[in-house]
Structure 1
Amino acid sequence: MSAVTTSFAETAADGIREPVIELVDARKTYRTGEIEFEALRGIDLQVTEGEYVAIMGPSGSGKSTLMNILGCLDVLTTGSYRLGGEDVEQLSEADLARVRNRQIGFVFQQFHLLPTLSAWRNVELPMVYGQVAKAERRERAEAALTRVGLGDRLDNRPGELSGGQQQRVAVARALAGEPTMILADEPTGNLDSASTADVLGLFDELHEAGRTIVLITHELEVAQRARRIVFVRDGRITSDEQVREVAA
């Protein structure tokens, strides 16, 4: 197999899909006293349902700021952001909390697992805050862990799992809430090469099953596992390429 890249704008859609992410002229300026720093400088980005997109850039490129915007952890200075058809700028703090809990499944470089809780209890935590019934929480947590290959590790605590397995628990936690998209921020940053391959293989499986995945990374070999790579530098998108596998 060999990889061929083409301009995203030039690739034909194979069906009408709803946009999950719509950013138009997105700008973010940070102010410290009289000093201003423009972290995002007019980004236009659309991600449709079922896409697997990597956002890549060096340190200081703006990709972390973009991740915070996409995850509703920060707001734009100017421009617009629609997530799953909702205008994020019009949402209250309570609404934003609801969106983060129900529409976005977060996977971070740090696993953020509570060491005293079993795998399934770590997975159910966001659903507790989402007021999902207890029996349903357990059922969905077990189903998510089974889906990521940890059906036999439900009662293990994080310290009893490898790094790759802990990240799988984090992915299961993201999946259990049935989010609109999975937002993964440097998810392989703390993993060895074997565990990295394991987790990226899981993302491949989730993509094939129709999940929308947005992956933030500074590593090209990780970004190349996605189907589309958006390169960011100095707060702007410098290229947007669709990755298509073809027979050699």
Structure 2
Amino acid sequence: MSHSPAGRQPVIELDGVRKTYRTGALQVEALRGVNLRISEGEYIAIMGPSGSGKSTLMHILGCLDVPTSGSYHLAGEDVGRMSEDDLAEIRNRRIGFVFQQFNLLPSLSAWRNVELPLCYAGTGRAERRDRAIDALTKVGLGDRTTHRPNELSGGQQQRVAVARALVTDPALILADEPTGNLDSVSTGEVLGLLGDLHAAGRTIVLITHEPDVAATAGRVVRIRDGDIQDDTGPRSRADTEPRADTGFGSGGPAGSTPLAWDVRT
């Protein structure tokens, strides 16, 4: 059984989660009865080779896919009982996603790309712009707000993607191979930024196949053939706290949404 820090309630609870893909007569078990607990404020790396099931697991954690069997509770809520509207609310407002492919729209400036989740949420135009520029400033791109993606380096584009993940003030960040397309310098910058976000109080789940990247997290879970093979358990935040400051301060991200939400309100 994967564990969480003593005395802290898990915000992510997977019990016996299986995911089976079927194409005609072909059946592939991507996850084979995964049990996992993640507490609020943890920085956890889920590590495994290609085809291990780690990306399938991330999609389930992010409510982008549903298990074939087993249960997933998010902040005490049974995800399997949520409506499509509830799931959309969680994906848009409660969880920030960062992917290996930056997924930026090439015709839009950096701040226009960052404001997109707020557009979907119906936020007013002036507030969208202010929050997008603020998020870009927090990731060190306050002077690049009007640049289009082709005018930015790979590391800068990924920071735009991180800003887009932050603009709704989520408490949970899911990062799927966020450094996979970056050079070593840009990789260090993005990992430092994720570390700063963790130090500011956010829960970070990082998917990777690289040991050096996984080592920056406070806890490493190794997955192979659709099941968890090893879990180092959590370390204290001080063990992995970065020295740099992205401007969030030490008291937690201002306005961030706690994970103990009620999607019905």
Return the TM-score normalized by structure 1. Answer: 0.90
Please tell me whether the aligned partners of residues 5 and 39 of structure 2 are also in contact (alpha carbons under 8 angstroms).
no
Asked if 2 retains the 8 angstrom alpha-carbon contact of 1:148 and 1:172, the reply is yes
**1:76 alignment partner, SS class:** coil
Give the C-alpha shift of residue 18 in structure 1: 4.3
How do residues 138-149 of structure 1 correspond to structure 2 at under 5 angstroms? 138-149=129-140
Number of aligned positions between the proteins: 237
Determine if contact 1:105/1:183 at 8 Å carries over to the other structure.
yes
> Runs of 5+ in structure 2 lacking a partner?
241-265
Query: C-alpha root-mean-square deviation of aligned residues, in Å?
Result: 1.8
Contact 1:8–1:241 at 8 Å: present in 2 too?
no
- One-letter code aligned to 1:145: L
Cα drift, residue 35 of structure 1: 2.8
Match for residue 49 of structure 1 among 32, 40, 45: 40
Residue 60 (structure 1) aligned with residue 57 (structure 2): no
Aligned partner of 2:99 in structure 1 is 108
Local SS of the residue matching 2:233: strand
Which one has a larger percent strand, Structure 1 or Structure 2?
Answer: 1
Corresponding residue SS for 1:50: coil
Q: Structure 1 residue 43: deviation in Å?
A: 0.7
Matches within 5 A, 1:114-133: 114-133=105-124
Q: Does 1:92 align with 2:83?
A: yes
The residue matched to 1:82 in structure 2 has which SS?
Answer: strand
- Structure 1 distance, partners of 2:29, 2:2, is 26
Give runs of ≥4 in structure 1 deviating > 6 Å: none
- Tell me, in whole angstroms, the C-alpha distance in 2 between the residues paired with 1:22 and 1:100: 17
Tell me how far 1:71 sits from its aligned partner: 1.4
Contact 2:5 2:234 in 1 (8 A): no
Shift of 1:37: 1.8
- Return the alpha-carbon distance in structure 2 between the equivalents of residues 19 and 94 of structure 1: 24
SS at match of 1:45: strand
Structure 2 residue 188 is matched with structure 1 residue 197: yes
Partner of 1:36: 27
Structure 2: how far apart are the matches of 1:130 and 1:85? 24
What TM-score, normalized by structure 2, do the two folds share?
A: 0.85
- Determine if contact 1:27/1:76 at 8 Å carries over to the other structure: yes
Residues 29/53 of structure 1: CA separation in 2 closer, same or farther (3 Å cut): same
Tell me the equivalent position of 1:231.
222
SS in 2 for 1:242: coil
Distance 1:104 1:25, change over 3 A: same
* Equivalent-residue separation in structure 2 for 1:121 and 1:86 (angstroms): 33
